[in-house]
Structure 1
Amino acid sequence: MKKVALITGATGGLGRALALEHVRHGGDVILVARKATKVHALAAELHQVAPGQQVESMVVDFTAANAAQQVFAAVQALG
């Protein structure tokens, strides 16, 4: 069974480190962060580190009322 990690705050120190380690160990990741440029840059970096792993990125601000529903819907859409 494939392991998929949903990482919020993905562009911060701990989130970034978790994402890197997860793809290095064969897992897929869904990156969630507030800043589009940072989260997309991290996704590109992870594709370079582990080209065979699925890396998805989402721009979400969890201070918004519907943020959790937005992430849940996106995760469901990915299967």
Structure 2
Amino acid sequence: MITRLRIGGMTCQRCIQAVFTSLTPVPGILSAEVTIGGAVIEHDGHATSDALREAVRASGYSVTLVQEERRRLPIV
């Protein structure tokens, strides 16, 4: 799955790192790309959008779900 989040209150590289650090321990995360203002997270479906948003909130930022896209991941 691919989840896109809009994240408010981020202003610098340190903010990006704080959000990335809060997202990566969430079980099921395969990758996370965080930029000022948002994040794109690829996960295996075990990580819910609620869990992802809660992780961002825990790092001190506001967050809104923009899009959640089911995508079949390739079998490796």
- TM-score (normalizing by structure 1): 0.33
Between Structure 1 and Structure 2, the one with more helix by share is 1
- TM-score (normalizing by structure 2): 0.34
